[in-house]
Amino acid sequence: MTEIIAYTMYTLLFISLYFEVFLLITFFEWQSYNKKRASYTTQKQLEPSTTIIVPCFNVENTVVKTIHSLLALNYPKEKLSLIIVDDGSTDNTWETVQQFATHSQISLFQKENGGKHTALNFALNHTTSELVGCLDADSFVDTNALREIVRYFDDPQTMAVTPAIKVHKPRTLVQYIQKAEYSLSVFIRRVFSHINTIFITPGPFSIFRRQLFETVGIYKAAHNTEDLEIALRIQDYDYKIENAHTAMVYTTTPETFRKLFRQRLRWSYGFIKNIYDYRHLFFSRKNINLGFLILPFAALSIFSALYFVSVAIASLLGNIISKIIEVQIIGGSAFIGSFDLFYINTHALIFIVSAIVVITLSFILIGKKISQEQQLWSYDILVYLFLYGFLTPLWLVKAVYNVAFSQKTKW
């Protein structure tokens, strides 16, 4: 039994290490190509008509700043319009956005609460622009974000472009953990775009061709993760999703563990349910990188996290029981020991885990660099490396439990 546990652990760690090395090599392999492509697309100066939808639900404290950030975009005013949809807010959101009622670029709508996907679909019925995007009402865009995104639409196969998302003014320990995590996501999304395997188009400022929705259909409830489902659907139709790593978007993240847990539970539950709905993409030759590498590894990573936490808990309980028995036999001297360098664990497991940590660290630093962070080495990296691994299993366990027992998650 012990050997099975050990072999399983080594196998999962080796796969993780292999995957990280693959991502790192892929990133450097495509660097020169992207520099050439960036130079080419910059010269195109595309300025398609664009509509940005802002779905709102109880966001009276942030929605005004969100709208002002969109109005400040460096983009022709006559080609940019905003649709603000109040999805049945119970606070003063609707009253707050009335200050924009006479603005020539802005249309305001109010509807009964039905969820974010219904607000997006409602707005789609009022758009005629070439491109359409979404910005969550707690997020803010850099002035050049839209220009950085639209140049990727020079490729007619590209149906969606995602930005680089960063944490807006972190204050708490939980937010600093997310700051490093989002830097890691910047790197991963950048690499995934190289091999056409992006399977999430996040709510903060993902931009789509308007014609896409006429081809693949409108947003679905999608287990409260419509941004994941629409991306999988785009991949299923064999279209491209690009990433504009120079398009900066800043989002407000959960400031407490309780709020973070609730958000990540929804994300994890939605991921499991959606990849089950799109299980036909696994090992599909339509997109080999997605079907044979990215989706299987993403699913395996959930099993790995649950497996390692189970082994850790079992090992901890075993050590506690052994120590209790030892104390009962020899008394307090069981806690007295001597340190000898000879007994330092040089097991191969330590080196594999260390390699994974070092490569993960490099991912975060690269993500910070390509998203133009001024300070690469900062406090957020340390708290992420030391704490995030202990937090993730908590919502993964709950998500798997909810899926197994058909318990839905809420916003």
How high is the mean pLDDT of the chain?
91
Could you give the 3-state DSSP secondary structure of residue 156? coil
Q: Domain segments of the chain: what residues?
A: 1-43+141-329+341-411, 44-137
At residue 40, the pLDDT reads: 47
At residue 37, the pLDDT reads: 53
Q: What is the pTM of this model?
A: 0.91
Query: d(Cα 38, Cα 154) in Å, to the nearest integer?
Result: 11
Mean pLDDT value of segment 362-374: 94
Separation in Å, CA 36 to CA 32, 39, 40, 240: 6, 5, 6, 19
- 111 sits in which H/E element: strand 106-111
At residue 233, the pLDDT reads: 97
Give 3's pLDDT tier (boundaries 50, 70, 90): confident
Give 237's pLDDT tier (boundaries 50, 70, 90): very high
Mean pLDDT value of segment 58-87: 97
Give 374's pLDDT tier (boundaries 50, 70, 90): confident
Weakest mean pLDDT among 6-10, 89-93, 189-193, 206-210: 6-10
- 84 sits in which H/E element: strand 80-87
DSSP 8-state symbol, 251: E
Mean pLDDT value of segment 277-299: 95
What CATH class is the domain 44-137?
A: alpha beta
3-state helix, strand, coil in the chain (%, to 5): 60, 15, 25
Separation in Å, CA 185 to CA 6, 162, 234, 337, 368: 30, 12, 20, 44, 10
At residue 92, the pLDDT reads: 97
At residue 311, the pLDDT reads: 84
